[in-house]
Amino acid sequence: MAVKSLFITATDTDAGKTFVSCLLLQGLAARSEKAVGVKPIAAGTNDQNQNGDALLLQRHSGIALPYQLINPICYQAPVAPHLAAVNEQQPISEAKLDQTLEQWQQLPLQWLLIEGAGGWLLPLDGQRYLADWVAKQQLPVVLIVGMKLGCLNHAMLTVREIARSGCQLLGWVANCVDPDMALAEQNIADLQQRIPAPCLGVVPYRPDNNEQVALNLASSLLRTSGCNTR
């Protein structure tokens, strides 16, 4: 059975890609679906030269994988990766991304969640964006919308750019990052009217029951993908 590969992007940095990806991994595991989360490119490391988001994906994945396979391209400084690549004299290699994707897709998995870095148009160099690689690989996209003031503009710009790239927007998640956001429910309803893809779920700010939220998200993903939710 072929691995179902998804690319997880967001409206901007700190919109909650890793948090939602880990919830999806937990929910898929609860549905007896073997899933792995990976982060092709990361910037910002600990003393062991490992990225915190990638470590969370590694921890919640259904298969134990070495860190280097979870996060093949990593830079020390917590800055835009293409700028870190220049400073550290280690260019971002699309060939390495291609090769690693092949390795991921040969794993004994049902789901592969590929988490981006930053927003949709993350630069790889002076001309290319990570979105160009996603389009080349024809990966379906899940968009995480960080619900806060300004998110309507950020969300719709991203949705339009995903469509312009020729990628399929499989669904989106409303992640409530601002507990004090005015008219949050109305904003979510507005986005549901505007985004031509299903809302997979709403993640509350610091949810009381992560397990239930995870299960709901995974169930929505399985339904949207045409899979049996058992």
* Residue-wise pLDDT tens digits, 165-208: 999 999 999 999 999 999 999 999 999 999 999 999 999 999 88
**Which pTM was predicted?**
0.96
- CATH superfamily, domain at 4-36+94-224: P-loop containing nucleotide triphosphate hydrolases (3.40.50.300)
Average pLDDT over all residues of the chain: 96
Q: Mean per-residue pLDDT for 29-35?
A: 97
Residue 1 has a pLDDT of 58
The dihedral sign for the CA sequence 42, 105, 136, 90:
positive
Active site residues: 39
pLDDT at 57 over 70: yes
- 197 vs 140, 168, 173, CA distance in Å? 12, 9, 10
Length of the chain: 230
Q: Taking a C-beta distance cutoff of 8 angstroms, is the pair 50, 71 a contact?
A: yes
Per-residue pLDDT band for 229 (boundaries 50, 70, 90) equals: very low
Up-side HSE of residue 133: CA atoms within 13 Å toward CB?
29
